[in-house]
Structure 1
């Protein structure tokens, strides 16, 4: 059903796999995915009562989406139980959480998290939200209707946070964006999602119209890959106002116009597209980890070891390039403006907090957002 992984600064890999029916598989390895080996299968018998079977049936365990948050905590959902949300901390402890009324009676699929906010996709009942505020769980629900979320439909097909903290939502009746998801929890400002509108030949149109949006993937440049049911795959600018590419089975090697999922290989930058007719890869656009023929940036000191307090120097980019720094999953960490052919990074995120130990990918981009050079750095705290 889903997978989530994290890599430590020493190369230790943890991979979790969620299965519909059997529970959560945990694999561990060092250095490469080939070294991964199964170390645990979590189900109703060894999860402190958190994982539950439907109606008490231990063989009917419906675990769905899983993801890691910024603190290395694994979050997941399970369907048709009274505590659908759960977490596993870095010590391996399970915790269960209830959601807004109705969440225990619908199938829950995907889960995304950012800045302490958790949003959960239901198949037919909108989106459920959860946020911990000083030990108190705030529970919310986003549905159709003005003031309730203004979704075009309660049938949610996909959702993803972008690097600006906006929540992009795909439904069976089109795409909308929740520009200030914090408002859902604090009650301030507008909590309704909005479509992306643009004008073409004097006519205002809605991005993707009412096409079912079945997949949303955000790349390292904050561009969006939008998969549809029947209209193929779209690559749009960070704000969605410019369509960069539309791939269909008729104009490209795409196997089908029905897209199930889109992801990026963090090592090669290849975009992996799952369709109802099989998998296909795509190269050539500015994506996380893309190697292509780009020159290598000079990055020093590298690695950055404990005790070093100076900046990281980045050289080899074109004059006044934008420098984008991401983690290995493609999530944007910082965005810098180079001075001439050099930039300096203080090792902090955009919000000023220090990054954790790990490998970080560095991209120099031109005015069009295309990658012109790349590099990477290992930071050990």
Structure 2
């Protein structure tokens, strides 16, 4: 989907090129005859046509970047506004594109404009056309003490511009994407957690199929046979682990994950069907102008929560439309502090949430005060302050017990 034109969609194919849709109607098929796309060339069959388009991503300037497998200029860019194409050679890395690289799994573009590409045979590839001397680099599995023949299958850039990498042998993170080109020996890191007091590598040996980052900077990670995991932003806490045994998930093989940033609904594609899960949270907004509280009023029959488990998004009082870094105070009409939370400190997966937590653009309150008692009937003020811009907003919510 084109983020700058919601009516425009591009669908890539394994053999026939790139199909453009406008307002859900197919309008043009880009191939080797009408675009910068190329077909692979089989020496014994010159008439063969195979335009293999795999990973694709829009950048911040509205350019569509995509991988054109098994050709010399494997990276392509397309400007939908001008109709212009550009190709970028990978010959310094992939000498024979027909035999040295079967294809590419995923692509992510970071804040610096670097295109990160997960490949089948050449590890993690980075390309930045703005780096004058060495725009193309890669990191092989062997260089990173990862099992031989590891495929780099899934990539995700998080809110800290860190690259989360799924492979056929587990999870890795490139923490310093900004310094990648200036570092002669960049390295990928494991996430080490404590399990029953014993250090352990997170998702060790798992075949990872997809990674998505939500509005809270938490990570959804799909696997080939262990279902789907939902981790805190640093990977230290497992918020959810869904399998066919513990949830309505139709299969433990996850093909794809997509998140609706407006409402936090996670769509999970498996080999046996699609599942939607309301995880809560949302993408932060640019301003507090549209911030609102719901339900309002809170009627007696509504279940606030009754506990400190803020992960049940179907309960509790929600404040949505928040910016990225806010402090929220809830007071009664006399000005007594009832609850308080701050972005990046009081999130749902943290032990610091204490009755009130913020996940991205949404906060959830279980209706309890600072001494852990459910508040009485009345009107409560929600005082929101953006810590970075100093923008403020005041909301009111009525609770009827």
In 1, Cα distance between equivalents of 2:328 and 2:261: 28
In 2, Cα distance between equivalents of 1:196 and 1:365: 20
Equivalent of 1:45, from 28, 33, 36?
A: 33
Equivalent of 2:189, from 165, 186, 194?
A: 194
- Preserved contact between residue 62 and residue 79 of structure 1 (Cα < 8 Å): yes
Q: Is the aligned partner of 1:212 residue 2:195?
A: no
In 2, Cα distance between equivalents of 1:208 and 1:175: 6
Q: Is the aligned partner of 1:97 residue 2:92?
A: no
The structural deviation recorded for 1:182 is 2.7
| 1:164-223 C-alpha deviation (Å, 9 max, x unpaired) | 1111111111101010123332226x6111110012223101111211111111111111
In 2, Cα distance between equivalents of 1:185 and 1:322: 39
1:18 corresponds to which residue? 12
Write 1 or 2 for the structure with the bigger share of strand.
1
1:133 corresponds to which residue? 130
1:5 corresponds to which residue? 2
The structural deviation recorded for 1:24 is 0.8
Which runs of structure 2 are paired with 1:163-174 in the superposition (5 Å)?
163-174=159-170
In 2, Cα distance between equivalents of 1:223 and 1:276: 24
* Runs of at least 5 residues in structure 2 that lack an aligned partner in the other structure: 295-315, 331-345, 365-401
The count of aligned residue pairs is 305
Which runs of structure 2 are paired with 1:143-292 in the superposition (5 Å)?
143-145=140-142, 148-152=143-147, 154-187=150-183, 191-266=186-261, 268-288=263-283
The structural deviation recorded for 1:149 is 4.2
Q: Is the aligned partner of 1:54 residue 2:48?
A: no
| 1:315–1:336 distance in 2 versus 1, CA, 3 Å | farther
- Preserved contact between residue 23 and residue 62 of structure 1 (Cα < 8 Å): yes
The structural deviation recorded for 1:151 is 4.3
In 2, Cα distance between equivalents of 1:84 and 1:78: 5
The structural deviation recorded for 1:259 is 1.1
| 1:41-89 C-alpha deviation (Å, 9 max, x unpaired) | 1110011xx2111106562111111110111111000111011000012
In 2, Cα distance between equivalents of 1:365 and 1:242: 12
Q: Is the aligned partner of 1:337 residue 2:326?
A: yes
Q: TM-score normalized by structure 1?
A: 0.72
| 1:253–1:288 distance in 2 versus 1, CA, 3 Å | farther
Superposition RMSD on alpha carbons, in Å? 3.0
| 1:183–1:57 distance in 2 versus 1, CA, 3 Å | farther
Partner SS, residue 180 of structure 2: helix
In 1, Cα distance between equivalents of 2:194 and 2:131: 45
